[in-house]
C-alpha cells in the first residue's frame, strides 16, 4: 500500500468557469486543491448526512477503517432517527413505516461541520447515502467551512477529505464549488466498505479495497470501461456523480458549476431509462454539458435494459461530439471503486490498459484487454 502523505496540488478547472459570487458569499473556484492523502494513524470521522444508519453495519464498516490503520470516530448523531416532517423524535413517535433520516437537518449538518472544522480530523467519511444531503446544505456555515479549509492548507496538510457517494453527490458538488477542493466518490462504511471485512482481516486481494486505498492513501487510479459509445481521448478535471442529484441541484445556490473543459462521470440506481433520458435532457437544455471534454459512464444498477440505456446515452450525449466510455466500475452495486472528483483525469477509449493497483503477494494486475479506461493522475508521496 502506498501511504505517502503528499498534500495539496492544484487541479485546473475549466478556463471559462464563472467566478461570480454564489448565494451566501461563496464563489465558484477555477481551481481545486487536491485533498491530502491519509496516513496510518490519521483520524477520520464517520457522519450520516442522509438516510438512517444500521448500527451493526456501521460498526463493521468502522472496523474495516480501523484495520486500515485509521483512528475512526463516529459522529454524535450518526444513529439518530427522525421522519421527514416535524421532529417526532422529540416526542418519541418516529414512524418506521415512514421514510427516516439520520437525525434532524441541523444535527446532521452540525456533525458534518464539526468534523470538517476539527484540525485533528483528516477525513470526513459518510456512512451511507439514501436521501437527505440536499436538506443539510442550507444549515452549513460556509464561511466557517472555508476558514477551516484555509487553515488546513496553511498548516501544510492540505484539504480534509470528504468521502461518500450516491446522495453525497450533493455535498461533493457544493464542497467542490464553494470550498475549491477535490472530494472522494466511493464506497461507504455501511455498504461496500463493510463487505470488505474478510478481505482486510484475511489480507485477501480485492480490487475495491485496493482502489479505496489508492484514492485515500495515495496511488494511481485507472478504471477500465467495458464498451465505447463514442471513441476518442480527452483530458480535464473530473466532475459529476449521481445523475439524479446533479439534476436536483440545478437552479439552486448549490448547483454544480458547468462541465466545460471537464470529463463528466455519471451513474445512478433504480432509475428507468425514460427517467435517465429526462434528466439528461434537463442537463443538456440547461447548458450544463456545453464544452464538456468527455463522458465516463459508471454503473446503472437496476436501471432497466442496458441496451436501451446505451441508446439513451448515445441519443442525448452523442451530439456533444466527445469521447464516451461506458461500464466504468464506479457507482452502486458490488463493484464499487473510488474516484477523486475535481482531480486531473484522462479518458482514452482506444488502448489496452493496465490497472495500476498492486495486489499483495501477486504483484500488479495483468493487462486488461478492454476498450478503454479512465485514469486519474496520482499525487506523489511526501511529507505533509
Catalytic residue among 77, 165, 262, 267: 267
Q: Which residue in 3, 6, 50, 166 is the catalytic one?
A: 166
Catalytic residue among 210, 262, 332, 353: 332
For residues 339 and 239, what is the distance between their CA atoms, to the nearest angstrom? Answer: 10
State yes or no: is 227 an active-site residue.
Answer: no
3-state SS, residue 118: coil
Q: Tell me the three cell numbers of residue 32.
A: 481545486
Alpha carbons 148 and 143: distance in angstroms, whole number: 9
Q: Phi and psi at residue 215, in whole multiples of 5°?
A: -70, -40
Quick check: is 166 catalytic? yes
Q: What is the dihedral of CA 82, 86, 91, 94, to 10 degrees?
A: -40
Helix (H, G, I), strand (E, B) or coil at 47: strand
Strand 183-185, strand 161-164: pairing: parallel
Sort 160 into a burial class: Cβ within 10 Å, 0-12 / 13-18 / 19+. buried
DSSP string, 56-105: HHHHHHHHHHHHTT-EEEE-TTTT--EESSS-GGGGT---TTS-EESS-H
Name the maximum alpha-carbon separation found in the chain: 60
91 class by beta-carbon count within 10 Å (0-12 exposed, 13-18 middle, 19+ buried): exposed
How many Å separate Cα 366 from the centre of its chain? 27
Q: Is 356 a catalytic residue?
A: no
Q: DSSP string of 330-376?
A: -SSSTT---EEETSEEEEESSS-EE---EETTTEEPPEE--S-EEEE
Kindly list the distances between the CA atom of residue 247 and the CA atoms of 90, 277, 280, 307, in Å, as whole numbers in the listed order: 33, 12, 8, 23
User: Which secondary-structure segment (H or E) carries 123?
Assistant: strand 121-126
Cross-strand partners of 339: 185
User: So which residues are the catalytic ones?
Assistant: 166, 267, 332
Amino acid at each position: 500500500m502506498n501511504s505517502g502523505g503528499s498534500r495539496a496540488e492544484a487541479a485546473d478547472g475549466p478556463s471559462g468557469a464563472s467566478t461570480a459570487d454564489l448565494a451566501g458569499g461563496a464563489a465558484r473556484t477555477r481551481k481545486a486543491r487536491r485533498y491530502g492523502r491519509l496516513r496510518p494513524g490519521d483520524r477520520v470521522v464517520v457522519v450520516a448526512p442522509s438516510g438512517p444508519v444500521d448500527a451493526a453495519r456501521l460498526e463493521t464498516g468502522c472496523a474495516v477503517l480501523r484495520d486500515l490503520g485509521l483512528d475512526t470516530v463516529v459522529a454524535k448523531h450518526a444513529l439518530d432517527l427522525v421522519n421527514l416532517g416535524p421532529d417526532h423524535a422529540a416526542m418519541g413517535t418516529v414512524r418506521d413505516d415512514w421514510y427516516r433520516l439520520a437525525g434532524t437537518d441541523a444535527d446532521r449538518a452540525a456533525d458534518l461541520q464539526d468534523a470538517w472544522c476539527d484540525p485533528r480530523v483528516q477525513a470526513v467519511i459518510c456512512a451511507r447515502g439514501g436521501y437527505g444531503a440536499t436538506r443539510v446544505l442550507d444549515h452549513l456555515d460556509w464561511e466557517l467551512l472555508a476558514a477551516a479549509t484555509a487553515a488546513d492548507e496553511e498548516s501544510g496538510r492540505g484539504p480534509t477529505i470528504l468521502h461518500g457517494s450516491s446522495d453525497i453527490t450533493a455535498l461533493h458538488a457544493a464542497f467542490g464549488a464553494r470550498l475549491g477542493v477535490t472530494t472522494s466518490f466511493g464506497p461507504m462504511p455501511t455498504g461496500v466498505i463493510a463487505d470488505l471485512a474478510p478481505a482486510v482481516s484475511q489480507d485477501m486481494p480485492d480490487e475495491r479495497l485496493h482502489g479505496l486505498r489508492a484514492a485515500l492513501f495515495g496511488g494511481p487510479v485507472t478504471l477500465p470501461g467495458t464498451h465505447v459509445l463514442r471513441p476518442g481521448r480527452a483530458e480535464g478535471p473530473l466532475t459529476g456523480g449521481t445523475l439524479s442529484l446533479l439534476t436536483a441541484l440545478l437552479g439552486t445556490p448549490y448547483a454544480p458549476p458547468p462541465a466545460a473543459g471537464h470529463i463528466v462521470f455519471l451513474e445512478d440506481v433504480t432509475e428507468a431509462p425514460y427517467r435517465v433520458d429526462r434528466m439528461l435532457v434537463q442537463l443538456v437544455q440547461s447548458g450544463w454539458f456545453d464544452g464538456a471534454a468527455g463522458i465516463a459512464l459508471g454503473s446503472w444498477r437496476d436501471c432497466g435494459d442496458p441496451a436501451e440505456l446505451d441508446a439513451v446515452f448515445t441519443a442525448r450525449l452523442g451530439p456533444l461530439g466527445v469521447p464516451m466510455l461506458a461500464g466504468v466500475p464506479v457507482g452502486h452495486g458490488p463493484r464499487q471503486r473510488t474516484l477523486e472528483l475535481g482531480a486531473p483525469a484522462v479518458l482514452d477509449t482506444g488502448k489496452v490498459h493496465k490497472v495500476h493497483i498492486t495486489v499483495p503477494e501477486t504483484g500488479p494486475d495483468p493487462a486488461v484487454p478492454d476498450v478503454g479506461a479512465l485514469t486519474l493522475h496520482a499525487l506523489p508521496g511526501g511529507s505533509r
